[in-house]
Amino acid sequence: MLKAVLWDNDGVLVDTEHLYFVATRDVLATRGIELSEAQYLELFLQQSRGILHFAEEHGWTEDEFQLIRRERSALYSALLRENARVINGVEEVLATLHGRYTMGIVTSSQREHFDIIHAASGLLRYFDFVLAAGDYSHPKPHPAPYLKAVERAGVAKDACIVIEDSERGLAAARAAGLKCVIVPSRLTAGRPFTGAYRVLGDIREVLSLL
């Protein structure tokens, strides 16, 4: 019997993943590095290597690496304040499920960015808990975020289901022993999502599935 629904944030609840791509692309461009969407999907949403890949490839010092991360973080924050929006259908789904299941957000976002995203989203009232970067030992695709979420939900693994949009998130959920439903974002549409419990076309389809 299903008792808990665990939600990814970026690309599932809010349309922000493309903003992170833009911030990363633009900061790398100042160093003469081109980042395509295909590279972003591979390095960030599948391998979870991110800017570290370019640091190793170009031999950046730790100071250079951290400076680029700070610049990207600042640009991403600015983009979020101007452009972050809730994905169509999300609030309808959350309002319907609220009170029927324990619900948590399990995100790779830094807490600073998460707070900017949800300052005016109105979504947090539907959730029992949030786990962001720093709240678990290893990021997705490691199972740690979802293992921590199961612990917080206080239910058995087979009573949980995960809603994700990326292969990295799918890998994390499966490694934690959880069923994972995929609702692809505009960046991840068309990916194979091997091992997903279901791949849906729209967030509203979650209601008929549960």
Render pLDDT for 33-79 as a digit per residue (tens, 0 to 9).
999 999 998 888 878 788 888 989 899 999 999 999 999 999 999 99
C-alpha pair distances (Å), 78 with each of 23, 37, 71, 133? 9, 21, 11, 19
50's torsion region: left (phi>0), alpha (psi -120 to 50) or beta? left
Contact 87, 203 (CB under 8 A): yes
Torsion of CA 86, 182, 96, 156, to 10 degrees: -130
- The pLDDT confidence band at residue 197, using thresholds 50, 70 and 90, is very high
Helices (H), 30-175: 37-40, 51-58, 62-83, 90-97, 111-117, 144-153, 167-175
Helices (H), 98-166: 111-117, 144-153
Contact 136, 103 (CB under 8 A): no
Q: Both ends of the chain: CA-CA distance in Å?
A: 10
CA-nearest of 125, 127, 109 to 117 is: 109
Average pLDDT over residues 114-120: 97
pLDDT value of position 46? 79
pLDDT in tens, 89-115: 999 999 999 999 999 999 999 999 999
Q: What is the pTM assigned to this prediction?
A: 0.93
pLDDT value of position 205? 98
| Structure token pair of residue 84 | 């972050």
pLDDT in tens, 132-188: 999 999 999 999 999 999 999 999 999 999 999 999 999 999 999 999 999 999 889
pLDDT value of position 33? 94
pLDDT value of position 150? 98
